[in-house]
Structure 1
Amino acid sequence: MARRRPPLVGLAVLLSVAASAVAKTDQPDVAALNVMFTSMNKPSELSGWKASGGDPCGDEDEWKGIECSDSSVTEINLSGLGLSGTLGYQLSSLKSVTKFDVSKNNFNGEIPYQLPPNVVQLNLQGNSFSGGVPYSISQMADLETLNLGKNHLSGQLTDMFSQLPKLSTLDLSFNRFSGNLPQSFQYLKKLKTLNLESNQFSGHIDVLAKLKLEDVNLKNNKFTGWIPKKLKDINSLETGGNPWSSGSAPPGMEKGSSEGSSNEEDDSGINGFAIGAMVITVLLAALILLSVLRRNHSSPVSSHYYMDESGRRDSSAIDMKPLEHSPSMGSRTPPAVPRKSISDNEFENKLNYSRRSTDPISLMNHSSSDLQAATGNFHSSRQLGQGTICRVFKAKYADGRVLAVKKLDPLSFSGSSDFMDTVNGISKLRHGNISELVGYCSEAGHYMLVYDYQRNGSLYEFLHLSDDYSRPLTWDTRVRIALGTARALEYLHGICSPPVIHKNVKSSNVLLDADLNPHLSDCGLAFFYEDTSESLGPGYSAPECTKPSAYVLKSDVYSFGVVMLELLTGRKPYDSSKPRMEQCLVKLVTSQLHDSDALEALADPDLRGLYPPKALSRFADVIALCVQSDPELRPSMSEVVQALLRCVHHKNSNW
């Protein structure tokens, strides 16, 4: 006979079911606000908000700052409430939100990649957000107002503005943005107000001449050149505090004004134009002469090598397969073009781009005395790192240039022609996520490779050597670093023909630029690494690598899986300070990668739980595939890239 439920208990259950049945608000909206509330450290200022459950569109207790239409949240206005923390990772579930205003608070960290996708007004002004502008903003086709002013944003704007046809107000003022204005600005046909005050933007502003602007503030940047005359009739124009070009402006341009106004007509006349033409002629002649001198000073590029499956050097020429025109997470982006529709693979294509291997190569031939002076005679205070094949130094020049110099053991080469084979081979490896060779030194007893300097050091330093004041890597940034590094290896393994093996994939060889984009270093140097257990160090080397000839492409995949494991856990791949059974990270955690409860305990404490559980699980699944003991069972790097893309796809609402 069935046991009879006490009346009060039965009533409580019925009331609970009834409350759930009559809840008015869409559950994805509720879940997103719950996560947001927790990420903001559950502030008391937000009356009515809850960390779990609730009914913001139906509760009698009003949720502060929330507006609804029927069962959907449509507005979030939390301006000036003194809030802190972050915004969480689930805002993309708020599909009906058209106004999102969290301005004048104390939010920090990177702007979430996941934002309300159909927002019309997005206001994050007056916080402490860092990093760059998330690419997801480029997909907001209804966006009319974007205000990111008065934060700590930095880096160069990418060409991400061609799909914002309704944008009328753009405020990026009082940040640390640098570089040229993106050419995709020209597609902002509805833009009326543009505020770029107090950044470090440089270059010309010709792209603004194509817009119908009414209010423009360009003050206190590093813009050069002249102001297009088409801007002179706008209602308000501020241009002071820029090193505008002096002298007569060419036709269609205005002189810059240190006072901020360019509304005066430039009537310099024929004499002014004649002088300007003479100056331009002299400059062109100087540039041509400089180009000839540089070409004569540089060593010709004639041949290069590749690595076969075992890492042996071959002096035959590499034949790069042609690459598709698709954008990259790296610093290089192709010119934006208007598209009729937004492809579902837009973000994937953005990550695919790498420079064509047929681009002309220009390497600077440095003298040893030049590099010696720039590195302080290779002083220990300038040393950035030391590996099995070289020491790396920071080279600083009076003009502000900073480079990284790999000083190789001269006994590693039989002569300068042998070294030039190395230089030519590396120079052919060009991808947005591979450290680019920009110069070299080839003198008797002095063989050096010169690269761009990456200001944020290596991923190893960021994860394992940072002090308490360093900014921890967010979940989105970790996935971006993993995906960019995977792209680099995919390029080496699958785009280069024959494939190029790396043999030294580890977090200390993943360098991070100013925007924390990854650049894989030591590419094209595999022939140095006969004993990978010595070069890689404990924890990275695949089980099959007991002898040099056993190293294969899939061994790179294993090492990459260990790097991903570092990103997931924040732990070193090998820690001799731990008990013996806990020293090797792969052996310690592999069995836990498919256990959701154990996985949460493995996640880096610096993440503070701010990650989407499903994406964490997918990330762990990729790791488990990469670190399998049998190389035949490991995925290719192309398969790894596709798996990681499922962690970042902009239409994935389960983040």
Structure 2
Amino acid sequence: MLSAETRRCSPGRGMARRRRPPLPLAPPLVGLAVLLSVAATTVAKTDQPDVTALNVMFNSMNKPSKLSGWKESGGDPCGDDDSWKGIECSGSSVTEMYSSNLSGLGLSGTLGYQLSSLKSVTKFDVSKNNLNGEIPYQLPPNVVQLNLYGNSFTGGVPYSISQMVDLETLNLGKNRLNGQLTDMFSQVPKLSTLDLSFNRFSGNLPQSFRYLINLKTLNLESNQFSGHIDVLAKLPLEDLNLQNNKFTGWIPSKLKDVDNLQIGGNSWSSGSAPPGMEKGSSAGALILLSVLKRNKSSPVSSHYYTDESGHNRSSTPLVDDFKGHKESSTINMKSMEQSSSIGSRTPSAVPRKSISDNEFENKLNYSRRSSEPISLMAYVSSDLEAATGNFHSSRLLGQGTIGQVYKAKYADGQVLVVKKFDPLSFSGSSDFMDLVNGISKLRHANIAELVGYCSDPGHYMLVYDYHMNGSLYDFLHLSDDYSKPLTWDTRVRIALGTARALEYLHEVCSPPVIHKNIKASNVLLDADLNPQLSDCGFSYFYEDTNESLGPGYNPPECTRSSGYVLKSDVYCFGVVMLQLLTGRKPYDSSKPRMEQSLVNYVTPQLHDIDALGALADPALRGLYPPKALSRFADVLSRCVQSDPEFRPSMSEVVQSLLQCVQRATSNKRMGGLRSVSQRSDDSDW
């Protein structure tokens, strides 16, 4: 029956209805085109193998909600009406899975087993996530850039990478890869950047490295590679990082032309080189000499203060190597060549000035001394004794688990803080200097930075800058009625800065650094009330956290010393956040029995908005955005979960607090904080 659009209605009841003449049939070719057009709208645009591979990957990563548009089955990532986060297509093929959208999302699980179906993918980047398991053998076969940096992959480098003839960038840094590298690099001549740093690789470098004729950047830092590095001698390297391995032998003279060479933390040979390597000795000496003349960085103002702790004793501290401090042994060979003390290179190729083998050996032995700190002031004990009034009790700032803290005053007005250790805490000066070196590598704007030390026999001391604002514990619990209380914005800023410091320790340092003494007295406040976390690098001393942390802080899992894990730091940070929220001490025996433990008392009320209002620090006088408490409470409630597995990572905490700050900033742009009488449930933070 014809539709209303194709029939003519009678103008009156008694008139007959007439039919429109039948429409002519479409020509065969036109009809076929129409049918194909209709069919195209119902058929997916993306190649089916690509869709299946992404489905498998999505399921293997535990179906993360952050991957908007992704599906566990089916879908059309290259379709016009279907946007898959991080996926780029060309025609019907997936061509890129890139970092700007897939990096740092907290993705977990594995990569699946079907990535080899993504034959058109040239850029595959899922760096800075929490992916684990072994790197799958099935990887995109024609990839040009492969970046798996900053995950938790284990095992070795899959041999399938050796078949990627177009590969130019391979970044597997900061994972948990181990074992010896397979001799598999002869078929990837286009490789220009290779990063294997901060893993657990061992053994000799593969001889197939010599075929990497386009390699410009090679980063092998912080592994356990051993043997000689002769295989690198003829590569066109511009950046080479060999720090903190077990390499031996002589540094090939060919490496003198590398612009940025980093070689510290190895066991290079000294003395006369074997036949055929005579030039290696003098080249190695030049390299090491330039290491000793590197630019020194200025320490950030910091302050050390302790409280709420008891006593404990231990010996050799644990020292870690950290990412991001290449200045400690970076060499700019071009600038070195321009130095008159070493020689200069001119168009006529003036020979370099050589130094004797004895001088080379002295320099080499000096560079081997891991006990020699970098960019720190060396103090003598007599000077520190005079500045502290011979460590008079009136200069005592605090009694910590591993030493006493004193204020040091100098005639020129400078004020420092000196942490004095019991000499029996160390087996000798080299033991102490290992601790100094480890702490000196911790560089973050929210971490109290070491500025000096004293290692005179029997006198082991660390020196920090002094800040009159003291610690967060002072501000919250020891301030008198005339002190200016911390505003809500300042409290959130303190929480965020402290969280960033812990994020650095847990997720940037490699291996991760556990603090084991997170508490309000170790959160120091600079002149602008920005936080600096102190007591970093001393975790080895804190065998009994019940003793060092004090009541109210110790996580539930720490019934024994070995129970303290990375997520235990998160719990302690949550207790600090509770203090910022309520103004209460972590444990207060003066309170009624049910209120003495801050965590036990407040945790059941964290999701009750009415109860939270009553728990807020009275010093705030109600001057906070209406939803601020509940949002802040949501973050800290996850931190103090009794099961460590349910606590967030510090990067997740940072992101949650950043959202709080962004909401507060947005609210201020719209007119600032309302007064108490103007607050409503609609205002947001």
Report the TM-score, using the length of structure 1 for normalisation.
Answer: 0.46
Larger of the two Rg values belongs to structure: 2
**RCO higher in 1 or 2 (8 Å CA, sep ≥ 6)?**
1
